[in-house]
Each structure stands twice: as structure tokens, then as C-alpha cells.
A = this chain, B = another copy of it.
């Protein structure tokens, strides 16, 4: 999506994102209180990302729940394009996926799109580079604690036989015109980029292919990836499959808060899962955009603004699931009782606790690779 002030495409997010405009432009549905209530009936207490509107929009969630209530259980599909190290922006979505998986007791297909990254990124000269990144990223995914009995991880190049075969009928239904208008492709796009859209559509139907009956699919993803699945939703019904349902979150901001989302291309604004406690402390203290006042005196007098304060936003979006605690932080910050430095210290503690657990689990992840990876 292009707008005077911001851009949101699967490959590019810049400028201050207007989420209300985006919902209109993309044509997704807002998540209403009624829908939240309906979800809660099945899951029990809602995840804070639902309560707080971090996951804020969807497609066909009511249909999905209709099917679920009829006993036609869905599976979850999400993905990762392995272009570099995993940062907090990625795990926000995945933690929610994990919650959904546990709350609805579903299977999950995690697609690692090493082919996509190779094709779309000039810096990669061989598919070995993107494959190595895929394995490295998978260790992080495993370290998040997914249940290997209910989670399959698919590496596109390893599972190319499955993907290519299932992609053929899809590819036959999509013309170059469609990807031109959906993604802004031109005659200079390479053949792999052009074909990739059909590969991308496969995981949303692969359980139906495997089970030889229609199985609903729910795709949780950051809102910028929506154009991919819009094409899938157009074409899959032509082949007799359900449209995949989806649920989208807003972006997890980088430390400086300048751009729409945390990005590996701006290393200082991202916190990686491999960062040390010292790095985390340094990055947050140095770069986390503050909504506090210029001096201690002014802050005590005027209070801070949590709405633009990245430390507060990170707590709200991810690191402080407890609503009461978050409310107190917000109130204290607005009143000036809580200083920026204190807020940052609290966040640093939370982030480092998260990373410590993650890094310990990752140590043991390599041994579990075989339990998660599927073979063709």
C-alpha cells in the first residue's frame, strides 16, 4: 500500500503507519468486542495481544469459528523468510501463534521460505547461504517452546517436491497480470520471484492435500504480508479449497520508533535473540525513544507520554502481559512518578529475562531438529 505518508508492502514498510487507513485499504475486518468474546469462549482468558488490540484485524475469523464449532478444526500456518537473525519483531507474532496453538489445541505448519529470500535478495549468491540461515532461524523457532508433536517445520528447498507439485495447479490459475497488480512486479522481476506466489499459497492448503479433504487454515501474520494471502484467497477457491482465514498484528516498533516496524536493516533499532544482557541494556538506554521530559524536574512536574514511548509500547505489546501492572506503569509514567530511566530499567529486565530463557532453550534446539522437520 502506498500513501502520501507511509508505505506498507510485503517487502517495505516506511513512515508512520495509519492502521485505520490500512484496514480500509487492505479490506480486512476489525476485530470487534463480539469476536473477542466468541474467541474467549473457546480459549479462556484472552492473550494480552488480543485484549490490547495488537492483533487488531482479520479475515474470516467468524467463518473459522463456525467450522470449529461444527468440529471442523483448523490448523495454523505461519512462516519465516530467513534473511538474517531473528529479532523481537518476529517473536511477537510467533508467541501469539503459540498461544493460539495451545488455546485451540491445533497443529501448526511453520514454513521457512529460504527460496523466497534467495530469489528476492541480491545479497545472496547461493541457496546454501539462505539454507544455512533457515537452519539457524529454525533453532530459534524451536527454542520458543513449540510442541514437536503438533508442529511441523517445512523448509521450502527441502520440501520442494511437495511444494512444487501442490503449486502447479495454483500457478496455472494465476497470470503475470495478477502479480503485477498485486505486488507491483515488472518485466524486470526474475522468473523465481514471479513463480514464488504460487509456492507461498501452498501451506494454506497442504493439510487439505495431505488429508484429501478440506481443512480450514488460519494464518496469523504481521499486516504487511497480507497481499500474499490476498492472492491465495482469490485463487484457492477456484481449485475447490477454502479461503484461508487470517489474523493480523500491527508492527512491533524499532527502538527509535521512527519507522513502521523493527527491521534488521537498521541494526541499532532492533534487539536480536542473540543479544547479550549488556547489549540489550546499552541499546535500550541509548536508542529507545522516550516519551519523557527533557529534565528530571520537568518530568516530575509534567509527566511522560507513554503513547510515544517505545519502552512503554514494548511492555504493552509484548513484555508485560499483566494488565494491572501495565496500568500502574502507564499511570505512574503519565504522572511523572516513574522516570524514563526507571521505565527503561524495567523493560531491560524483562527483555533480558526473556532472552535468557530463549538462549538456554536454543542451546538444546539442535538436537530436536529432526522432530520438527518434515521430509518430502
Contact = CB atoms under 8 A, between A and B. Distances in A.
Interface of A: 115, 118-119, 126-127, 157-161, 163-165, 167-169, 171-177, 179-180, 185-192, 194-195, 197-198, 376
Query: For chain A, what secondary structure do more than half of its interface residues adopt (helix, strand, loop), or is it mixed?
Result: helix
B191 A187 contact: no
Contact of A118 (B119, B158, B168): B168
A176 B187 contact: yes
Contact of A191 (B188, B190, B198, B376): B198
Contact of A174 (B175, B191, B197): B191
Contacts of A190: 171-176
Given A157-B165, A191-B179, A197-B191, A171 B119 contact: yes
Contacts of A127: 165, 168-169
28 contacts: A115-B164, A118-B168, A119-B168, A119-B171, A127-B165, A127-B168, A157-B165, A159-B161, A160-B160, A161-B161, A161-B376, A167-B192, A171-B192, A172-B190, A173-B190, A174-B190, A174-B191, A175-B188, A175-B189, A175-B191, A176-B185, A176-B186, A176-B188, A176-B190, A177-B187, A191-B198, A192-B195, A194-B194
A191 B180 contact: no
Contacts of A192: 167-168, 171-172, 195, 198
Contacts of A115: 164, 168
A332 B226 CA distance: 75
A118 B172 contact: yes
A189 B127 CA distance: 27
Nearest to A194: B194
Contact of A188 (B169, B177, B188): B177
A-B pairs with lowest CB-CB distance, top 4:
A171-B192, A195-B195, A160-B164, A171-B191
**Which of A165, A168, A197, A198 has most B Cβ within 10 Å?**
A168
B176 A194 contact: yes
A286 B14 CA distance: 72
A265 B294 CA distance: 81
A197 B192 CA distance: 10
A189 to B, nearest CB: 6
A123 to B, nearest CB: 12
Contacts of A176: 176, 185-191, 194
Contact of A175 (B157, B159, B187): B187
Contacts of A177: 187-188
Contacts of A187: 175-177, 180
Given A191-B179, A197-B191, A169 B126 contact: yes
Contacts of A180: 187
Given A118-B168, A176-B189, 14 more contacts: A119-B168, A127-B168, A157-B168, A161-B161, A164-B164, A171-B192, A173-B190, A175-B190, A175-B191, A177-B187, A177-B188, A191-B194, A191-B197, A376-B376
Nearest to A190: B172
A127 to B, nearest CB: 5
Contacts of A188: 175-177
